[in-house]
């Protein structure tokens, strides 16, 4: 019977893709049944849902429906990978362009109160075709360099969209327009928190990891303490640190002058640093433990000192694992830095929590979207780096 099915499959020219069926179903629902955009007369009132053909000028609306249907059919049948990439990219670009046009065409001329935001249908379509793109790319399995190039291309496209003002009619961009200066300040603070605490954790965590690798008795204790820190909820750790830092600021001369304060950036920075230590130390230990004995023996045979061995042999061999630790820390810190807003530490969390407080979801998005994009970019770039260093290690 099994042989029969294989022959049958080969005979029929049109084979269906299982994932394509899901994508086509999502796309059909998103395009025909769910609203494409939400129109609100002002920021507070209940929105009106608009379908694709209501939100867009007639020709463009039906054009989008046709494009989505075509791309869904291409996903549905077993088409070649490059066709799928092209279909997914074309649909995604069209969606990005048309949501901007929808904002302009729905907003009454001259109105500065009206708000247009993407609705569930738009997000579903983006999700469906991003899924198609992700699947096609996974099948292509591009190398780290290609992945980073692709990311740069997509970011450039998004940057061009933002710079051209094509999206300025969308509510999230209106929230941005009224807060451009504070957005830049909070973005800077978010990056400072995430990257600064990473740098501090690397500066302390690497030596600590090397020490733990060399001194067995230290290892269990240090890792135990760092593990325990991870169990304290971030919200609480940020809060608990307010007290000791406030005390230091009051008691140690000069501490307040360099920015140490009970509330604000200092406790957030220290909390992120403490959370970052475990992945740094643990990955350093694991990486060093994974260095083959033969490599160390050969180095010893060559008469290398402990320090030379560490710099020339152990560290380069352990580097991919340490880099994987840095990846974990960076992605985690970008996410956790949002909580800093609750203790006055700033960052994108300011907009998220303000938005939650005012039930203004566009404001929430203004904080959440950059955070997600940042974490996503960091993950892709560092994953590519990890893979590149691993590959190089193997060649040598």
Partner 1 sequence: MPSLATLLRLAALLVLLAFFLQPAWFEPLLRPLVQANAPAIYDRGNLFWLTMLHLRTVFVATLAAALVAVSLAILVTREAGAEFLPLSRSLVNIGQTFPPVAVLALAVPIFGFGEKPTLIALFLYGLLPIFENALTGLTTLPPAVMEAARGAGMTERQRLFKIELPLALPVILTGIRLSVVISLATATIGSTVAARTLGEVIIAGLQSNNLAFVLQGGLIVAVLAVLIHDALQGLERALAGRAHV
> Which residues make up the interface to partner 1 (CB under 8 A)?
17-19, 120, 131, 134-135, 137-139, 228, 230-237, 239-240, 242-243, 331, 334-336, 338-339, 342-343, 349, 352-353, 355-356, 361, 364-365, 367-368, 371-372, 375-376, 378-379, 383
CA distances from 15 to 2, 9, 83, 308, 323 (A): 17, 7, 15, 60, 42
* Nearer of residues 210 and 343 to partner 1, judged by Cβ: 343
**Least Å from the CB of residue 57 to partner 1:** 27
Q: Cα separation of 283 and 291, whole Å?
A: 13
Task: Count the Cβ atoms, other than its own, within 10 Å of residue 107.
Answer: 19
| DSSP secondary structure letter of residue 77 | B
* Nearer of residues 138 and 164 to partner 1, judged by Cβ: 138
Q: What is the largest CA-CA distance in the chain?
A: 84
Residue 57: name the closest of 98, 116, 96, 95 by CA.
Answer: 98
* Nearer of residues 210 and 374 to partner 1, judged by Cβ: 374
DSSP one-letter string for 265-285: HHHHHHHHHHHHHHHHHHHHH
**Least Å from the CB of residue 231 to partner 1:** 4
**Least Å from the CB of residue 306 to partner 1:** 34
DSSP one-letter string for 146-160: HHHHHHHHHHHHHHH
**Least Å from the CB of residue 300 to partner 1:** 35
**Least Å from the CB of residue 172 to partner 1:** 12
Q: Cα separation of 267 and 31, whole Å?
A: 47
Task: Count the Cβ atoms, other than its own, within 10 Å of residue 241.
Answer: 20
Q: What token pair was written down for 126?
A: 């983006």
* Nearer of residues 15 and 214 to partner 1, judged by Cβ: 15
* Nearer of residues 210 and 336 to partner 1, judged by Cβ: 336
Q: Cα separation of 50 and 340, whole Å?
A: 37
* Nearer of residues 120 and 296 to partner 1, judged by Cβ: 120
**Least Å from the CB of residue 44 to partner 1:** 14
**Least Å from the CB of residue 342 to partner 1:** 6
* Nearer of residues 102 and 360 to partner 1, judged by Cβ: 360
């Amino acid at each position: 019977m099994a042989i029969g099915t294989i022959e049958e499959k080969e005979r029929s020219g049109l084979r269906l893709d299982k994932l394509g069926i899901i994508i086509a179903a999502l796309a059909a629902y998103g395009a025909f049944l769910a609203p494409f955009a939400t129109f609100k007369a002002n920021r507070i009132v209940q929105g009106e849902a608009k379908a694709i053909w209501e939100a867009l000028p007639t020709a463009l609306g039906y054009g989008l429906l046709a494009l989505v249907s075509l791309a869904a059919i291409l996903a549905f049948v077993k088409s070649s990978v490059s066709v799928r990439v092209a279909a997914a990219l074309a649909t995604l670009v069209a969606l990005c362009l048309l949501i901007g046009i929808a904002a302009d065409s729905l907003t009454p001329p001259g109105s500065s109160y009206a708000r247009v935001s993407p609705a569930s249908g738009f997000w579903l379509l983006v999700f469906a075709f991003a899924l198609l793109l992700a699947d096609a790319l996974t099948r292509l399995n591009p190398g780290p360099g290609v992945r980073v190039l692709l990311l740069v291309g997509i970011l450039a496209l998004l940057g061009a969209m933002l710079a051209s003002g094509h999206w300025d009619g969308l509510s999230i961009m209106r929230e941005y327009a009224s807060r451009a200066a504070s957005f830049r300040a909070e973005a800077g603070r978010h990056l400072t928190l995430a990257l600064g605490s990473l740098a501090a954790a690397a500066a302390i965590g690497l030596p600590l990891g090397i020490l733990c690798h060399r001194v067995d008795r230290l290892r269990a204790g240090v890792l135990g303490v760092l593990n325990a820190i991870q169990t304290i909820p971030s919200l609480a750790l940020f809060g608990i640190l307010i007290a000791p830092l406030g005390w230091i600021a009051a008691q140690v001369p000069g501490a307040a002058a360099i920015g140490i304060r009970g509330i604000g950036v200092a406790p957030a920075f220290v909390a992120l640093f403490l959370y970052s230590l475990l992945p740094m130390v643990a990955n350093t230990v694991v990486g060093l433990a994974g260095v083959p004995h033969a490599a160390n023996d050969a180095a010893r045979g060559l008469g290398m000192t402990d320090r030379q061995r560490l710099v020339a042999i152990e560290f380069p061999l352990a580097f991919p694992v340490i880099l994987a630790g840095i990846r974990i820390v960076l992605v985690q810190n970008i996410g956790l830095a949002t909580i800093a807003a609750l203790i006055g530490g700033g960052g994108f969390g300011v907009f998220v929590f303000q938005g939650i407080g005012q039930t203004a979801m566009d404001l929430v998005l203004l904080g959440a979207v950059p955070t997600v994009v940042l974490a996503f970019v960091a993950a892709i770039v560092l994953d590519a780096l990890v893979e590149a260093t691993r590959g190089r290690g193997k060649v040598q």
